[in-house]
Structure 1
Amino acid sequence: MDLALDSVSVELAGTRLVHDVALKASAGQMVGLVGPNGSGKSTLLRCVYRALRPATGAVLVGGDDLHALAPREAARRVAALPQEHSAEFDFTVAEVVAMGRLPHRRGFGGPSDGDLGRCTEALRQVGAGHLAERGFLSLSGGEKQRVLIARALVQEPRLLVLDEPTNHLDIGHQLEVLALVRAAGPTVLTALHDLNLAAGHCDLLYVLRAGRIVASGPPAEVLEPGLLAEVFGIRATPVRHPGTGAVHLLFDRLRPDLASSDQI
């Protein structure tokens, strides 16, 4: 399902944090948001999964204004994994994942056999099947992250919004989770700090700085040394992955004496 952000601005406590963002993601694409801390990535994502309303503009999912949809319909279209989450009660892992099926259930009955089967399979896919009967609050940060990704997948969204989905994960699970999300089929909008993960897994990147889009396009075109020096204050050397051909970046601190040099 297509996603379009049409001149979206976001304000909090009277301060505009995101300015006139235009963004598009075609059905099945993985689109990444990258930028330094405080650039507005999480704020923009919160607007996309309805935790915030845009001050101006619209979030269009499948051509419909997401904020005008009924909550159940919106939940059938969009699932989110926020950067921060909390649980007041110590549900089991199986119960937490089953919550992802709520938009598809009727009445007040419990999950069906089909729902439970989807939940079991999602936990298996993220490598967390052995945790099903554990209390969620007893898990490590990485285990919790995998469980929450499973919950988002069983929601069967058409758009999946992920805010730093690889937080707390070791490198093996980082690669597995991003590949799994990609293979699951929904359109994905994700914020990523790791530029090499973004380059290797995203079809398009949008670079945010101070709440504005300053560059967009395929990773190999966007992640060029001049832009990275300007936005992140780093010296980057792009190389090509010998197997996939994807751009990979080697980083150094940007020395002041090189700030205006052609070597940047």
Structure 2
Amino acid sequence: MELTLDRVTFSLDGKTLVRDLSLQARSGQVIGLVGPNGSGKSTALRCVYRALKPTCGTVLVDRLDLASLTLRESARAVAAMTQDSTVELDFTVEEVVALGRAPHLRGNQNLSARERDLVTGTMARLDICHLARRGILTLSGGERQRVLVARALVQEPKILVLDEPTNHLDVRHQIELLSLLRGLGPTVLVVLHDLNLAAAACDRLAVLSHGRLVASGTPEEALTAELLREVFGVRADVVRHPRTGDPQLLYALIPHL
């Protein structure tokens, strides 16, 4: 399923947070949104999963205006794991993951055998089966993060939106999660702060600065030394990973550029 942001602008209290953003993700691609703090990444994502309504422009899912869908229809198409995703009640991990099926159920309808298998299989992929009976409020930040990703996957979306999904995760689980995204099936739009992980995990990168798209393309095309200096204010050499060939950044800890 294709995702298109067509000249999306979002303004609040006279301040424009995202300006004229056009972006396209083909079916099954992993698209990374990167940029400095406050560059509009999370705001753009909120427009995709309908937490915000664009001031101007359109979010299209397979050329259909997302705003024209019912909330249930859009929840079946788009799943999101956000920075502020929380669970206030101490449900078990298995119960939280199963909540991802809510857009597909009516009332108190029970999960089918296939859906129960989906919950179990997704928990296994995220390495959280051993937590199934634990209350989610007893988990560490990293464990909870994996539970919330699992809940989004159980939703079986066509488009998966992830806002900094590697927060709180140790190195192993960061790598496992981003490796999982590569063969997942849905079109993925993900915000990442670690540019090396973004370069390794994403098919294409979109670089935002002050709410505008300033570069897009493959990681090799987008992450140049000049862009890193101008947009992020850092000096770095771009090299190739010796095993994968992915561009990787070597930062210079120099106080003044």
Q: 1:234/1:130 Cα in 2 relative to 1: closer, same or farther (>3 Å)? A: same
Question: Aligned with 1:234: secondary structure?
Answer: coil
8 Å CA contact retained: 2:85, 2:148:
no
Q: How far is 1:238 from its partner?
A: 0.9
Paired residue type of 1:122: T
For residues 1-40 of structure 1, what are the alpha-carbon distances to aligned partners after superposition, in whole Å with 9 as ceiling and x for unaligned? 1010000001223321110000010001000000001111
1:75 aligns with 2:52: no
Q: How far is 1:113 from its partner?
A: 2.2
- Indicate the residue corresponding to 2:136 in structure 1: 136
Paired residue type of 2:161: V
Paired residue type of 1:97: V
- Indicate the residue corresponding to 1:6 in structure 2: 6
Q: How far is 1:109 from its partner?
A: 1.5
Please report the TM-score for the alignment, with normalisation by the length of structure 1: 0.95
Paired residue type of 1:76: R
Q: CA–CA distance in 1 between the matches of 2:70 and 2:154?
A: 20
Q: CA–CA distance in 1 between the matches of 2:85 and 2:27?
A: 27
Question: Aligned with 2:235: secondary structure?
Answer: strand
Q: How far is 1:253 from its partner?
A: 3.5
Q: CA–CA distance in 1 between the matches of 2:119 and 2:169?
A: 21
1:178 aligns with 2:178: yes
Q: CA–CA distance in 1 between the matches of 2:44 and 2:254?
A: 28
Alignment of structure 1 residues 1-264 onto 2, 5 Å: 1-256=1-256, 259=257
Please report the TM-score for the alignment, with normalisation by the length of structure 2: 0.97
Paired residue type of 2:145: Q
For residues 191-218 of structure 1, what are the alpha-carbon distances to aligned partners after superposition, in whole Å with 9 as ceiling and x for unaligned? 0000000100111111111100111111
Question: Aligned with 1:102: secondary structure?
Answer: helix
Q: CA–CA distance in 2 between the matches of 1:168 and 1:61?
A: 31
Q: How far is 1:255 from its partner?
A: 4.7
8 Å CA contact retained: 1:233, 1:253:
no
Equivalent pairs, count = 257
Q: CA–CA distance in 2 between the matches of 1:193 and 1:254?
A: 20
Q: Aligned-pair RMSD on alpha carbons?
A: 1.1
Q: CA–CA distance in 2 between the matches of 1:174 and 1:32?
A: 15
Q: CA–CA distance in 2 between the matches of 1:30 and 1:181?
A: 7
Give the stretch that moved more between structures: 245-254 or 139-148: 245-254
Q: CA–CA distance in 2 between the matches of 1:181 and 1:111?
A: 25
Q: CA–CA distance in 1 between the matches of 2:138 and 2:6?
A: 42
8 Å CA contact retained: 2:40, 2:211:
yes
8 Å CA contact retained: 1:29, 1:188:
yes
Q: Return 5+ residue gaps in structure 1 as ranges.
A: 260-264
Identity of aligned residues (%): 58
Q: How far is 1:107 from its partner?
A: 3.9
Paired residue type of 1:21: L
Paired residue type of 2:166: T
